[in-house]
Structure 1
Amino acid sequence: MNFQSPCRPESAAATADASCVVHNLREVVFRIDVQGRWAFLNPSWAGLSGREPLSSLGCAFLQDVHPLDRDSAQGRCLALLEGDQAEWRQTLRLLLAGGDFKWVEVAARPALDAQGLVRGVAGTLVDVSERRATEERLRLSASVFDGAREGIAITDPQGRILEVNAAFQDITGYRREQVLGRTPALLSSGRHDKAFYEAMWGELLSTGQWSGEIWNRRADGALLAELLRISAVRDEQGRHTHYVAIFSDITRLKRQQETLERLAHYDPLTGLPNRVLLTDRLQTQIAQAERRREPLAVCSLDLDGFKAVNDAWGHPVGDELLVQAAERMRLALRAGDTVARLGGDEFVLILDHAPSEAEVGALAERVLATLGAPYTLMGREARVTASLGIALFPQHGTTPERLLRNADQAMLRAKRQGKNLACLVVGDEAEVAAREQHATALHEALLGGELCLYFQPKVEARTQRPVGAEGLLRWLHPVRGVLTPGEFLPQIHGTELECEIDWLVLEQGMAQLGRWTLEGHDMSLSLNLCAATLLHPQFTSRVALLAREHGVPRGRLELEVLETAALADLAAVAQAMEACAQLGVCFALDDFGTGYSSLHYLRQLPVKWLKIDQGFVRRMLTDEGDMHIVRAVVGLAAAFGVRTVAEGVETAAHAQALTALGCDLLQGYWFARPMPAVALLQWLQERQAGPRLPEAPHALREAGA
């Protein structure tokens, strides 16, 4: 090492010995010249920085210092060179060859020549990354314990409480001095039997872990629902020395679950089973009818003239009419039959033990007669009739979806034939031929490039900032113009053509997403796929291939799956979602709330978004039941760490109400209609200078609290 310092060796032999020592030190020994360049580095520099000493010599030492530490390092070094400081001690970040950094401790003094003039800076660098990490972990542990929102209790092996944090005291209402030395049994609610606690301790002693939900009681006697996790702490011999219990207060969530389960199964206006419970009951009754080898009738019913009453007399009168009509249907049906409300003036009847078409027809006529009688509504008399379609199991379908769809078609035929009628499903060969012709034309459109994606923006509710878009399929029909999916996709549901179209959607969507990325647009894109496509054996490999071809970043592609489709084969869909999630694909459950919205199912599906059905959104300001459902879905999503998207936002009032309720993203005509990709970019440019929506009124904020 060819430099001299205030402590200089007295002979050449001593210098050689010192040089040998320096070269074998584990610490990095360095010298920086007056121009701030590395003038000497011992071999330990390679092990610390990943660079050979010779490659660094002559380079500015600051280029190896993390940008956040450069100013302070430069100031300290200059202070030594200018004689303003006798010693430089500092902990800073050293940049490594691979781009990462290590924490090092600098200890340096001025390097003097024979005349005592400063010719540089000499010192050592010591890797303190591990010590720094240990200190940080200790600080973090203390911070977590003291500042955690979850309650934490530490006990000895006998379960006596040794320490609790502030959140424990806030959640349970017990002060620290009240619980130290006592066991958690003082929190017992009495809701769990002896077997529950024996099972808990058995698992804890055998595995060292236990987690689950438990009911305890606060200091004031109020019930407390906890999500609890207990871990055993072992010593070097494997003996349990402590137990750490961490819990969060989920009492409000449990109450919300109870409310949501009630809302999820019954119509809040009429008290009738809703679509969720109807689907469940119909599935059960189909299975029973199949075992008994007995027929079953499903009726789709729609009130004729309800809209006129609702528009002329107002929603309160319309609601009263629906309540009275629901009660009349209940009384007209037999024990064991079901009447459910799907929404608006749409009802479904399940007629169990239907031995003959004649008996089903007679019961249908009785329902029509009772519904056609005059209604007294707030002192006024009104009349409505009903149109009813009947589908029989197994002749007209063996699944709930097929029976309901066929009954609905028969009901529409009853309306076309004059209303106040009951029509049985009939085989219509012309309709079958029309569907086949439609499928052929759609397949030709697929091959001819007539199918393309339009894009509808999604915006953050609070900031109104566009963050992504949904890709929506359009058929550019040469005669009929631009057609939406509802006009051409339902007829091919369940066919191979449906999957072929999904492949096209995936290809076009990911290509567009790749172009946006290249152009610097930080946009996510959601695409709608049917469950059959998701379960295709080659689906995951195709997604991976397209992502590589088009340069799609992880986390930018979102796939929307209809809730009802996902639940049809829950295990297989969940497995397919997990495989795609490994590729960075996110999932949304579309039209949430229209299917069987069970918490059990939601926990099994790796979804990051719940998309609130636009039917609920559009009616939420006029239908209290729909407002309750939207609020409950947003609360459920927040509880499960899932974000929400509301579609069908068509007015400022809807946007403000959803924002107040805590919905994350909004989508609908109030912001923009679906448009081609070129038009979307123009919309984004105009949006940057456009005004934001006014803040939600105070009343709405209160409603969403």
Structure 2
Amino acid sequence: MNFPDPCNAVAEAAELGCVIDHLRDVVFRIDGLGSWRFLNRAWTDLTGHALADSLGSDFLQHVHPLDRDGAEARFQRFMAQAQEPLRHRLRLLRRDGSFVWVEASLRQVLDAQGQPLGLTGTLADVGERLRTEEQLRLAATVFNGAGEGIAVTDPHGRIVDVNAAFEAITGYRREQVLGRNPSVLSSGRHDKAFYQAMWAELVDKGAWSGEIWNRRADGALLAELLRITAVRDAQGRHTHYVAIFSDITGLKRQQETLERLAHYDALTGLPNRVLLTDRLEQLIAQASRRREQLAVCYLDLDGFKDVNDAWGHAAGDELLVQAAERMRQVLRPTDTVARLGGDEFALLLDHATSEAMVFGVAERVLAALGEPYLLERCSARVTTSIGIALYPQHGHTPGHLLRNADQAMLRAKRLGKNHACFVTEDEMGVSERERHALALRQALHAGELLLVYQPKVDARTRRPEGVEALLRWQHPERGLLSPGDFLVQVQGLELECEIDAWVLEQGVAQLGRWAREGVALSLSINLSASALLQPQLAERVAGLVAEHGVPPGRLELEVLETAALADLSAVVRTMEGCARAGVSFALDDFGTGYSSLHYLRQLPVKTVKIDQGFVRRMLSDAGDMHIVRAVIGLAGAFGVRTVAEGVETASCAQALTELGCDALQGYGIARPMPVAALAQWLAAQGDGA
């Protein structure tokens, strides 16, 4: 009969104990009273507690206080009746006071009669697993809750997942794109070279970002601001690509609308002064190379003001549209007709072989524009005065040619209108413009210039928030003149800066008086391009503000977009210098100049003023309504306030308020008025001025 060798049993037990001590997980045994009876060395590694200090102690004292009640209840239930092995997560306290999450695997220990003696099992550190699970949950929440569209592809470009925003933006359901290439979204607007360059940068740098045109599931174009990032494994191999994009279609549409306004007249669709000047520069260069002539014709509609006064702006606009179409029909495809503003137009005639040829075109234009206009509410007839300048005889630059043609047009009016006149030698000498400038300088020194003030109100409350200072000339013979009647002729002259300086000084002085009287009004003052580009402007404005005690935020300077863009870096420095003195800037007639997002980002302006031409027609013209909505939306995107000029009716004011415009200005609010009348108007509004 063979008996077990006691020595072998001891050796096996020792070997087993050694194995248990080297296990990563804690192996434990708890007696029926809840005291530790056995713990391997992993216990000390996990908690920092020495085995000798822990054995014999109550296991609950090592359990986190927030988990003790639950752990004790489970221990009691498990001891009371036989159960299947139990898994339970809880926190154990470390010696240093911190805690560690563990997963306990428990099993009953029974005596020979099957009665429970205690529990045995293991404790596994699951802290890292829980942190990983938390990160995965967080990532999933971000992925599914992000407002940007997200698509994940494998290294071969096949889509493996998309989020809810991807479905909402593109219109494709997740199951429709899984396993497919992102080219399913391609719009066809980018060529092969575009995508090759994109992937070359992505492979080389691990990321690519930019604007891209794709197409929605319904076929509509989709503009995206897209960033693609490569995901690498530990060996640096690309395992996935993550594309994150936002929908900028609306913003791009607004930008396209405003960029078109930079070069085309909104009413007639003709090129505006900016595009005309650009084309004229090109034609001058071509004519110089070919040694040919070209002609510049300056047109003004005689009697147009009478149509406006008699039948209103809508009828006048309709007449301008018809006149533009008549000129298109008369001219050759290579010629250009442009609207300069109001009822003034310009023609560019390339290959002007002779004066007779140019005069023949002018006569056809006179005849076409002289025919009756059948308008919605009336029939009207106007004539036209045309001035003609030839290159190179009458000038070598766009400005010179246009000025001389303008002088010839004024002579055509003096000759009885409905005439076409070429530039004369006299008009190329001392011009009427220079004579006008002399008279205006005398008016400045004689005290004939004055300021009136037009209120602006909050669009929602209709409460007065400020006024705009407007220049007037009390002419001894012609009566009270608006700036359009006398300032245009001195643009670019030194006199223009002198008048700006006078307006600035008078306006700031009045603003200081209001501040001392307790009238909390802001004041807007218009600046010309010449004044804006003066290097000492910021210093002068700061000095005036300090001299008259103007509180910060009360003075706003208005500039035209085209003025601000003449020397962008210099203008930004001037604006920033004025801002340090508490003076802000507004872009006037926004939408009629360059209207570029690039410039709106760079210029530190706080307000844009929507041109009154768009505002007046917005309720009757869907195109103008779209422009107004686009300007308000664009301003909101950049955190800039909007002021609508030319508000003449309550319905127009209400529509602007609903579109989100911030402030209103126009005859429907209040007409420009002297200081005394303004005080009475403010009192009537309840401001107590």
TM-score range, shorter chain: 0.5 to 0.7
2:458 matched to which residue of 1?
460
- 1:363 to 2:361 alignment: yes
CA distance in 2, matches of 1:469, 1:272: 34
- 1:503 to 2:504 alignment: no
2:334 matched to which residue of 1?
336
Deviation at 1:560, TM superposition (A): 1.5
* Cα distance, 1:369–1:496 mapped onto 2, change above 3 Å: closer
CA distance in 2, matches of 1:608, 1:297: 43
Letter in structure 1 aligned against 2:358: V
1:176-195 paired onto structure 2 within 5 Å: 187-189=185-187, 191-193=189-191, 195=193
2:610 matched to which residue of 1?
612
User: CA-to-partner distance for each residue in 1:108-143, whole Å, 9 max, x for gaps?
Assistant: xxxxxxxxxxxxxxxxxxxxxxxxxxxxxxxx9999
1:123 matched to which residue of 2?
none
Q: Which runs of 5+ in 2 are unaligned?
A: 1-137
1:212 matched to which residue of 2?
210
Q: Secondary structure at the match of 1:560?
A: strand
User: CA-to-partner distance for each residue in 1:151-199, whole Å, 9 max, x for gaps?
Assistant: 4568899989898665444223456687789886665545444543454
Moved more, 292-301 or 523-532: 292-301
Deviation at 1:265, TM superposition (A): 4.7
Letter in structure 1 aligned against 2:194: F
- 1:533 to 2:534 alignment: no
* Cα distance, 1:637–1:296 mapped onto 2, change above 3 Å: farther
CA distance in 2, matches of 1:557, 1:235: 59
User: CA-to-partner distance for each residue in 1:536-576, whole Å, 9 max, x for gaps?
Assistant: 22223334444555565655443211233334445544554
Q: Secondary structure at the match of 2:168?
A: helix
Q: Secondary structure at the match of 1:353?
A: coil
* Cα distance, 1:329–1:190 mapped onto 2, change above 3 Å: closer
User: CA-to-partner distance for each residue in 1:84-104, whole Å, 9 max, x for gaps?
Assistant: xxxxxxxxxxxxxxxxxxxxx
Q: Does the 8 Å contact 1:276/1:597 carry over to 2? A: no
* Cα distance, 1:339–1:141 mapped onto 2, change above 3 Å: same
Please give the root-mean-square deviation of Cα atoms over the aligned residues, in Å: 4.9
* Cα distance, 1:153–1:259 mapped onto 2, change above 3 Å: same
Q: Does the 8 Å contact 1:274/1:340 carry over to 2? A: yes
Q: Secondary structure at the match of 2:327?
A: helix
Moved more, 531-540 or 173-182: 173-182
Deviation at 1:314, TM superposition (A): 9.6
1:588 matched to which residue of 2?
586
CA distance in 1, matches of 2:583, 2:143: 35
Letter in structure 1 aligned against 2:665: Q
Q: Secondary structure at the match of 1:672?
A: coil
Q: Secondary structure at the match of 1:536?
A: coil
* Cα distance, 1:564–1:146 mapped onto 2, change above 3 Å: same
Aligned residues: 550
CA distance in 1, matches of 2:411, 2:450: 33
CA distance in 1, matches of 2:236, 2:517: 57
1:52 matched to which residue of 2?
none
2:540 matched to which residue of 1?
542
1:50-449 paired onto structure 2 within 5 Å: 149-151=147-149, 166-174=164-172, 187-189=185-187, 191-193=189-191, 195-197=193-195, 199-200=197-198, 210-219=208-217, 222-229=220-227, 246-261=244-259, 265-266=263-264, 272-292=270-290, 294-304=292-302, 325-342=323-340, 346-372=344-370, 385-394=383-392, 396-426=394-424, 427-428=426-427, 429=430, 431=432, 434-435=435-436, 437-442=438-443, 444-445=445-446
Q: Does the 8 Å contact 2:262/2:592 carry over to 1? A: no
Deviation at 1:422, TM superposition (A): 1.0
Q: Does the 8 Å contact 1:276/1:594 carry over to 2? A: no
* Cα distance, 1:531–1:218 mapped onto 2, change above 3 Å: same
Deviation at 1:299, TM superposition (A): 1.5
Q: Secondary structure at the match of 1:347?
A: strand
User: What percentage of residue pairs aligned between the two structures are identical?
Assistant: 74
CA distance in 1, matches of 2:372, 2:681: 53
* Cα distance, 1:510–1:238 mapped onto 2, change above 3 Å: farther
CA distance in 2, matches of 1:298, 1:575: 37
* Cα distance, 1:612–1:405 mapped onto 2, change above 3 Å: farther
User: CA-to-partner distance for each residue in 1:396-432, whole Å, 9 max, x for gaps?
Assistant: 5555455444434433432332222112334354836
Letter in structure 1 aligned against 2:503: V
1:28 matched to which residue of 2?
none
Q: Does the 8 Å contact 1:457/1:672 carry over to 2? A: yes
CA distance in 1, matches of 2:317, 2:434: 41
CA distance in 2, matches of 1:647, 1:636: 17
* Cα distance, 1:558–1:309 mapped onto 2, change above 3 Å: closer
1:665 matched to which residue of 2?
663
Moved more, 179-188 or 363-372: 179-188
Deviation at 1:667, TM superposition (A): 1.0
Deviation at 1:252, TM superposition (A): 3.0
Q: Does the 8 Å contact 2:210/2:225 carry over to 1? A: yes
* Cα distance, 1:255–1:141 mapped onto 2, change above 3 Å: same
CA distance in 2, matches of 1:522, 1:225: 45
CA distance in 2, matches of 1:243, 1:517: 61
* Cα distance, 1:199–1:518 mapped onto 2, change above 3 Å: farther
Letter in structure 2 aligned against 1:586: S
2:645 matched to which residue of 1?
647
Moved more, 322-331 or 179-188: 179-188
Deviation at 1:465, TM superposition (A): 2.6
* Cα distance, 1:182–1:334 mapped onto 2, change above 3 Å: closer
* Cα distance, 1:418–1:191 mapped onto 2, change above 3 Å: closer
CA distance in 1, matches of 2:168, 2:276: 43
Q: Which runs of 5+ in 1 are unaligned?
A: 1-139, 691-705
Moved more, 224-233 or 419-428: 224-233
Q: Secondary structure at the match of 1:415?
A: helix
Q: Does the 8 Å contact 2:532/2:564 carry over to 1? A: no
* Cα distance, 1:421–1:248 mapped onto 2, change above 3 Å: same
CA distance in 1, matches of 2:200, 2:156: 14
* Cα distance, 1:514–1:276 mapped onto 2, change above 3 Å: same
Letter in structure 2 aligned against 1:459: V
Q: Secondary structure at the match of 1:228?
A: strand
Q: Does the 8 Å contact 2:387/2:409 carry over to 1? A: yes
- Which residue, 662, 665, 672 being the options, matches 1:674? 672
Letter in structure 2 aligned against 1:529: L
User: CA-to-partner distance for each residue in 1:189-222, whole Å, 9 max, x for gaps?
Assistant: 4544454345446656777765421123445554
1:100 matched to which residue of 2?
none
Letter in structure 1 aligned against 2:347: L
